[in-house]
Chains A and B, each alone.
Chain A
C-alpha cells in the first residue's frame, strides 16, 4: 500500500534546529522527485522545497533558503528536511509530497516554534 509518513515534528525554541523525515513505501521511491509543503495554522499552502529524483537538483522557497536543506536516502526510501535557525513563522504542519502528478502526500507533521 502506497504511503508517505512524516515524523520528527514537535515544539522547538526559536533559533534551534529540527530534522523532519518522510518514509515512503509501496512504490519505487527512486523514480520520483519529492517536495515539502507547509501550512501555518488556519492559513493556505506554502511550497517549501523540492529535490530531484537523482538528488542533484534542489530548489527552495525564498522564505527558507539558506536555513533549510532537503535530502534523500534512496537506500532507506526516506526524504528529509533539515531546518536550522527556526523562527516563529516556521510554525506549520509540514507535508511531504511526491512528484506533482503522482498525487502522493503524507498526512503531515506539526512543527511549533515557540519559547
Chain B
C-alpha cells in the first residue's frame, strides 16, 4: 500500500498570502495519478487537481499542482477567504487508492 504523508498538518495564513501544501508518497505514484481535493465542513470533497497538475473544471487558476514520483505540491498563489478548508491528496495509480491524512488551512 502506498502511504501518503501530507505536511504541514495545519497551516495558518492570511488572505492574500501564498499557500504551499506537500504530499509525499512512500513509493512512486504511477503515471502521476495524484489528485488534490478541498473539503469544507459538512460538504463533500471537491476535486481541485488530477494527474498531479491538471485543474478540474471551474477551479480558479490560483490553484496549481506540481510534482512527480514521490513528491507533490499544491500551491494556492493568493489566498481568498473561501479557500480556507481541509485539503487531501489521493493517489489512484495503484490499488488501494489511498488518501493522505489532510492539511487544515486556517485563517491566521
Contacts and interface: CB of A to CB of B under 8 A. Distances in A.
Contacts of B95: 50, 59
B101 A44 contact: yes
Count class of interface residues, chain A: 20 to 34
Interface in B20-61: 33, 35, 37, 39, 44-47, 50-51, 54, 56-57
B2 to A, nearest CB: 11
B19 to A, nearest CB: 19
Contacts, number: 57
Please report whether the interface of chain B is mostly helix, strand, loop or mixed according to DSSP: loop
A100 B88 contact: no
Interface in A47-70: 47, 50, 59-62
Given A44-B101, A45-B99, A47-B99, A103 B90 contact: no
Given A44-B88, A50-B95, A101 B51 contact: yes
